[in-house]
Amino acid sequence: MRAAARAGAVALVVLVLVGLWELYRWIWTSAGWTWPFVVDATSMPHVWTILKAFGQPTQVNQPALGTLLFHKALFTMKESAVGFAIGAVVGFTLGCLLVHSRLLQRGFLPYLVASQTIPILAIAPMVVVWVNPKLPPSLQGWGAVAVIASYLTFFPVLINTLRGLQSADARALELMRTYAAGRWSVLWKVRVPASLPFVFAALKLAATASVVGAIIGELPSGLQSGLGGAIINFNQYYSLEPQELWATNIVAALVGIIFFVIVVAAEKAIVRRPPETAR
């Protein structure tokens, strides 16, 4: 029953958004307003034009756009899932290491922060050049993109893991001292469980960032099999077929949402917290 209510709410929000889009279109076209931009079939195609595009082939003798995007989405999901996993593991492990030493934190954190100020587009070509030659044939191309995606995901995971590990109750740590517990026990029995709410907050960020990272990573790699390739391609034909780019954007958003929902479900299954601080 609650699941049905939730699904209803989601459907309602989608309908409202579609309604607002079409309402905006209708007002601007009928009033002839040109600010902030001219509203026409190119700048804002009808929602049904976009939806119809899913069923139509982009070129003769090609599968429908929907089928095409489905396969491209699977490819991008593979990249972002691996990128997410690498980023999560690297971020979490670094967090567990750094929490034990103020010196290491002071030494490393500035560089880790600096790493995030470099635009990913500037890093991507180098990663492709460095990583690709070392990959087995089965990982060629998309393996490098996964590494680029992980570059976006490890940072929030690292920062939040560090914060979460430090959030462990001082008295819980004192209790562990009375057991003469070693670092390893304290880490696994107190710090890591205490960090999970923080870690999952970061994983939610990382889930969507990994999709963005994968799509952007595809661009300098010249990969055509994923959503990034599709976006570049449809960008070039935007004035002729704007609905194809819009359809691709919707699919990209769906991929991000799917990742996010998976992380939320995992959090519900793993993290045990009192109800008033939950959610």
Least Å distance between CB 278 and other proteins?
Answer: 10
Residue 171 contacts other proteins per CB under 8 A: yes
Residue 85 contacts other proteins per CB under 8 A: no
Q: Is 276 helix (H, G, I), strand (E, B) or coil?
A: coil
Of 151, 149, 152, give the one whose Cα is nearest residue 223.
149
Residue 166 contacts other proteins per CB under 8 A: no
* Among positions 70, 189, 249, 257, the unique one binding other proteins when judged by CB under 8 A: 189
CA angle 243, 73, 116 (to 5 degrees): 100
Residue 40 contacts other proteins per CB under 8 A: no
Least Å distance between CB 117 and other proteins?
Answer: 36
Least Å distance between CB 203 and other proteins?
Answer: 17
Cβ proximity to other proteins: between 126 and 266 the closer is 266
Scan for tokens 């449809």, then name that residue. Answer: 234
Cβ atoms within 10 Å of 134's Cβ, excluding its own: 9
Residue 269 contacts other proteins per CB under 8 A: no
d(CA 197, CA 31) in angstroms, rounded, equals 50
Residue 133 contacts other proteins per CB under 8 A: no
d(CA 254, CA 141) in angstroms, rounded, equals 23
* Among positions 96, 190, 214, 216, the unique one binding other proteins when judged by CB under 8 A: 190
Least Å distance between CB 173 and other proteins?
Answer: 10
Residue 172 contacts other proteins per CB under 8 A: yes
> Segment 194-223, which members bind other proteins (CB under 8 A)?
196
* 63 alpha-carbon distance from chain centroid: 28
Show the 3-state SS of 135-203.
CCHHHCCHHHHHHHHHHHHHHHHHHHHHHHHHCCCHHHHHHHHHCCCCHHHHHHHHHHHHHHHHHHHHH
Least Å distance between CB 169 and other proteins?
Answer: 7
* Among positions 180, 240, 269, 279, the unique one binding other proteins when judged by CB under 8 A: 180
Residue 46 contacts other proteins per CB under 8 A: no
d(CA 85, CA 200) in angstroms, rounded, equals 13
Binding site for other proteins (CB under 8 A): 169, 171-172, 174-175, 177-181, 185, 189-190, 193, 196, 271-275
